[in-house]
Amino acid sequence: MPSARPPDLPPEPSWSGWGDPAEASELSDGLSQLLTQALGIRRPGRRVGPLSALAPPPSRIPATVRAALESLLGAAHVLDDDEARIRHLRGKSTPDLLRLRAGDLADAPDLVLLPASHDEVLDTLRICSRELVAVVPFGGGTSVVGGLEPRSDDFTGQIALDLRRLNRLQALDEVSRVAVLEPGLRGPEAEALLGEHGFITGHYPQSFEYATIGGYAATRSSGQSSVGYGRFDEHVVGLRVATPTGELALGRAPKSAAGPDLRQLILGSEGALGVITAVSLEVRPAPAVSAYEGWRFESFAAGAAVVRRLAQDGPRPTVLRLSDEAETALNLARPAEIGAPGASCGCLAIVGFEGTAEDVAGRRREVTRVLEAAASGPEPEAGESWVRDRYHGPYLRDALLDAGALVETLETVTFWSSLPELYAAVSGALRDSLSAQGTPPVILCHISHVYPSGASLYFTVGCAALEDPLVQWRQAKAAASDAILAAGGSITHHHGVGRDHRDWYERELGRTAVRALRAVKAELDPQGILNPGILIP
């Protein structure tokens, strides 16, 4: 039943910031003044010039290699113009944008390729492996951990393998509730195709508007409804993967005892082991009813105890998030609330329900009984505001960079018993590092994903930018990463490893596990062309 992406495509993403250029935020005079006072901002941030004024280094791809790729894909799908190359340069982290604003285009791909099938991807990898050309799989370009920043100096060139033309719903088994989706589908496109048949993925990360199905799988993405719907990787039942040495077809059944589950090698592999060309995914009926509301706790610790109670003993809502005191008071995702009456009261939890009318009513009633014993609420306006603005936080980040602030995020995960220590350790490391540099920060945090045994912490950090904000942030991020491992957390929960986390990932894995991972890389990608320097220590 091949079904192509619907005609109402999301706008082309910004080349120099987050998401839809039409949604870019502007700071009001009042907010700018407040930030200047609160953070001690000293100068406006450096802004990027027009795209037409930028020129990446000359392409290194030999003419013979380009001719072979054009013969395979067609000349129209082998791009080397400056705009295409710049639009496929790095991801969307704050360091990525700061380097772009400084005019650093050194990592721009030499070519951008647009394959349209599994076989074209497979043949492209064979050519590139033979000719020693580095290959960076490219979906939505939303990486925030250096996942699109390969080390390609030892190769004859670097290509961005843009998968946007692999954009079909290949099949839908309504009895098993399994859809086969191609990797280039962005979140809204996949939901629209499934919605025609009454189904959803249930996966809504903050990058939902631009991230892709392949990117979800390659990074072990976790969406904002993970409490009710689970992580993306938990619902992947099959994968088709192209590698330089051949094809992997993984997943004959939902579960199996036929040896180790090799799907787990690809999930989270960030394009370093192969290129995902199809994902078989468990889907679910579209909800008939949804309801979101806010509840306020006196403290982060009190709220975390109730969140843990719901995660462990139920009933579970579909969405469950808890902001600490600082994030509740200064919610960067909703600047209109800054300074508003009551905005700094306690710790705000967002609780959401989706499903049939009967299911939502039943779970909401039981969850309310638990919350009423420890929190004040409900606040429907808070829930509605969160739903409306849930994807807009990164737009404000870009406006703050313009104003001269340094704003970035990081996340981690641990067991419930270690959560207070991890929260204190990471907050303290960030505060100490940035204060020592003369830029005391504002640090916000929320519990974003919960499980019976633990939860993730998501930090947002803001301070005045120094003359070299890249060095400033790298020092703070290194201190926070050291603190994460020392406190027993994982270096990442849902952002992936990329290049930024790789050294700490090696420490987290241990020497034996690293050798095993390198052995898999050598078997599937003997020339090391796939996203070199990413993930694999």
CA 484 → CA 180, 235, 318, 407, 499, distances in Å? 37, 28, 28, 19, 17
Tokens of 400: 């703050």
Nearest to 428 by CA among 415, 440, 414: 440
Tokens of 367: 């969850």
List, in order, residues 6 or more apart from 296 with CB less than 8 Å away: 328, 345, 346, 347, 348, 349, 375, 376, 377, 379
List, in order, residues 6 or more apart from 449 with CB less than 8 Å away: 222, 226, 227, 231, 413, 455, 456, 493, 494
**DSSP per-residue codes, 319-341:** EEEEE-HHHHHS-TT-GGGTT-T
- Helix or strand holding residue 357 (H, E): helix 357-372
Counts for the chain of helices (H) and strands (E), in that order: 18, 19
Rounded Cα distance between 32 and 97, Å, is 20
Tokens of 506: 């090696």
Q: Count Cβ neighbours within 10 Å for each residue of 408-423 and write b for 16 or more, e otherwise.
A: bbbbbbbebeebeebb
Which member of 229, 391, 423, 458 is catalytic? 458
Rounded Cα distance between 324 and 316, Å, is 21
Contact 444, 400 (CB under 8 A): no
Tokens of 358: 């009967």
| Residue 458 known to be catalytic | yes
Rounded Cα distance between 246 and 422, Å, is 43
The strands making up 157-162's β-sheet, listed across from edge to edge, are: 78-79, 111-113, 157-162, 133-138
Which H, E and C letters describe 387-414, residue by residue?
HHHCCCHHHHHHHHHHHCEEEEEEEEEE
Contact 378, 368 (CB under 8 A): yes
Nearest to 28 by CA among 259, 265, 339, 480: 339
- Give me the active site residues, please: 458
